[in-house]
Structure 1
Amino acid sequence: MHGPADAGRARIENLRLSLHNVRSSVWPPICVALAMTWALFDDAIGLALLAWCAALIACQGSIGWYSSAVLRRDIGAHDAARIQHALLALNVLYGVAWGSLVWVTLDTASNSETILVNSVIAGVAASAMSVLASTMPVFAAFVLAEFATAAGKFVQIDDPAYHALLVALMVYFLALLMQGRNCAKTINSAIMLRFENAELLTRLRAESVKATAAHHQAVEANLAKSRFMVAASHDLRQPAHALGMFLETLARGELSAAQRRVLENARSASQASADMLNTLLDMSRIDAGVIEASTRPFALQEILNRIERELAPQGDAKGLVYRTRDTDALCESDPALVELILRNFVTNAIRYTERGGVLVGARARGDRMHLEVWDTGIGIDPSKFHDIFREFHQLNNPERDRSKGLGLGLAIADGLARKLGHRLELASRPGRGSVFRLVLPRAARTPHAGEHAAPAPAPAQPQLHAHVLVIDDDAAVRTGMAMLLQGWGCTCDVVEAPEQALAAARARLPDVVISDFRLRENHTGTEVIAALGTALGRPVRALLITGDTGPERLREAQRGGLPLLYKPVSPLRLHAALRGLCEPQAANPPSISKSAPVTNAASAPAR
């Protein structure tokens, strides 16, 4: 439905179209008038014919001049009626001029000349439809003026043939008027459609601008969230890292049974915090692209056994039945990353299952193995399948119960599966349970001896007897590290700045340097360790520790080429890394250009 404003705009556009048509068709009617004057000229009607020709050229010229003058300025709503009235008056005169050709010529014309005159009058009326039909009142005025003028002459002649010709002309002109009305409707509809398209385009542009702005705001909000998470994760990792070292030092002392129970509870709470932080780290490492897949043949059963040993007690504590189907399948992938995916599937199944059980197994399907985790939990509505793989998305946990994790496990599994090029599948029925499936390629060869052997149990922690230089800008971390290292038989220099590190190294050469990656005043541990090597004139055995989880920071730390641990570092992993650096057979100490990164046990299982 169109309002008065649209009708007014359409009227202006119709007028503009007619004016353009008139201006571009001034000369053809003048040429026709000159040709008719030449063809019909004789002594009897010569002067009258010349006067007619002059009058018609004057009318046509006036219409053309007026159209050009109007088009040179904008046509406002208040101008439209005046312009249409002027065009109507000029075209009435123009129609009379063409109709009067019958009065000038018909008395002396031969039959052929009569036919020529009537044909020209009819043709001029037809051509006027293409020029004036967009302003129907103007076209109707021209046609009626032309017909009425010519009809007066036909009525005056007392000849039945002319009366019949009059009727034929009447029918013809009425048909022209009907066609002109249809043409005017079509033109008006086209103009209104153009307005609608223009308005739609304007709205689309406005919506596009809004969508772009909304997208920009969403991107900014996501970046702000990421920056906040990185900063919060780093700041939380510092005290969690120090707390782990303090608790480990405390565990080495003499405690009563009650104190030992309190300590174990504190260590459990600390480990739960570390697990959550390491989950965030896993997501950050995927985003940063610093996880490198190491594909090789491996036996699935060893992974299944290891996960059952670690996670089945959680199911037992909830009264669930945890079962693993044995398999002798060999797959081709990265076993550590596959284990992390499966671990997240099983953890998720246990969290969201209150009764029944969890079943883990593998099925052979051609050249593929389907590694599956079945549960009898709450199930997932099919409409939510895509959502559950989003970061921080959890079903049925509006209160953000800490025991249900952070909502990152499935997002991590999805990211790792894409990294490995494996397909994840999900089938579920609300209230009945779910099955998560990882599709792996079967191994084309048998692993070499020991390639998939179970890891040996961790040995007791021996004394290290090394001098360690610790560089960290957090006082609690420095204190905790010194106490822990001294408990391992080490001597320590603990400093917070690069200048202090250089002075301490010159005073006593360190066997190993442990440095935080991000130090104050935008220094990095990589830079400080390189400067120590240059100042001492020899390579430095060194270990980086970082609490950063930002993708750029993770990539930067890994590019340093030094062994890398992520805060909070478990004392067991720290001791193992130091022992590897302090062993006498390590003739070539890790340098900035050589060593491979070391990862947390919690964030990447040992291979």
Structure 2
Amino acid sequence: MKKPSDRADGYEVVDLLGLGSQSVRKNYYPALQARIEELEQERNRYKWLFEKALHGIFQANLRGGFLACNPAMAKICGYASPEDLKTRVIRLREQLFCSSSEFDVLRQELLNNGSLSAREIRLRRADATPVNVAITLLRRPDLGPEVVEAFVADITERVQARQKLVQMNADLEQRVQDRTKALQDANAGLHFQIEEREKVERELVVAAKVASDANRSKDKYLAAASHDLLQPLNAARLTISALQESALPAEEARMVHQVHRALEGAEDLLADLLDISKLDQQAMVPDLLLTDVAALAKGLGEEFEAVATNAGLRFHVRTIPALIKTDQRMLTRILRNLLSNAFRYTRSGRVLLALRARRDSLRIEVWDTGVGIEESKLRDIFTEFHQLLPQGSGGRQGAGLGLAIVERMVSVLGYRIELASRPGRGSRFSVVLPVDMNAARKAALPAVQGVPGFAQGFAGIQILVIDNEPAILASMKLLLERWGCLVITSTDEHRALDYLRETNTMPAAVLADYHLDGGKTGWQAIEAVRKLLGTRLPAALVTADCSDELRRQMRAQHLPILNKPVKPNRLRALLTSLLSTS
């Protein structure tokens, strides 16, 4: 008589091996008999593992119920036996899964991918309560289109531990909040509780570090946001500058002037915020190079000449030969901020930028005949967001960051700043650079003789402008044409080259944005234009990228940079420099 174990799901072991009942008797095949016994032992081992497994195992049809399951699966679901589970759960979707929609998602993923691993879900127990499990499912298309095999682990303890951890974290946060409030109360009554001071101070150090980390994150976000704002602001500023060059009726001219002042204030604020952000992150490292300070001062003089004319003030620049190692960009920013303040708070009289030599130092002084500063406020004006003077005291009010930037940049460079002021008479700001002035005079470079006439106008000069922002291209073209330039515009390198080939045009200079479309750069576009024309055409980058890395790279290529938003007087000075050295 055959043993029940000799059959597997209605088939004898010999049937599984392809031997029917009419096959030659097994007694004549000892090796085959041994193999059959091995398979029987293997089957019994798998059957034992299936029945004794700690995790639930089942085979089921997704459109119906269970085909097979082990005791562990029945226990997880709260049923008396596997047969009880198979008999009572005939629809997995409605009777086993707590969420039908979750079942539908799992089913679709199985049909798409064939398997899913360790997915956390909730199953419905026999008493209708949920149980948290991690289920791994494998589709068996060989057994049926929606037949699956699954391994199920009860993760109730894990979920409870996780919930407990969440609660502990919530309790901890509440305790931290309660403790913070207690510390604030203790700080308010500090003079009555001297013995608590050291404890409070230690905890405040921790809070200060957290605040500092948050502040650095804010600075990074601010720098990125300010950079993105510079692009549309640059287009608007160029358009307004072009309008100012036009003959407009008095009322329209007044409105254009108001818009100009508003944009100017926004530009100054963004530039100040970017610099303060870099300084707070200690990301501004001096790039020391031999700099002709006299030429730098004269360049600023040309830049602010139009400001002085508009304000009805006299403006003078007095220089001496001086060639010193400094960070040209930072020193220029310091002096530009000091000059901007001088013009902002001077209603009549004059402004003076002067270089004065001392035996062991160079003094760069900015004098004005403005409203002056009271002695009690001299120490406050270098703090962030501190207005130099109250509203109504004259001039366009700043955001209170200019002098804070000056003081920090002076500190980074290792210089010293001095201030003397008399209310109603004016002020003098002095930046003191510790240098050997005898050596600085001897090393001074001869003045570069420029080509006369460009400072007054650019009539008939052809300028090629490359920028991937159509609004900026249109605004730049409008402004340059107001100056008499013949402007060629292009959104990328290839269009510019095609135009130059077709028209056989030779522009006098190229102005290119650094970041172009398709990962291209303005530097690459300039090099391509120079190669096509066979000449080292005067060129400059106009970009909102203020990074020190870009500045170092372009200096190695002898390519000047003008940062956005572009101010007309700086653009005019740049063009004059490019055309004068060509």
Q: TM-score, normalised on structure 1?
A: 0.45
Between Structure 1 and Structure 2, the one with more strand by share is 2
Q: Which has the higher contact order (CA 8 A, sep 6+)?
A: 1
Name the larger-Rg structure: 1
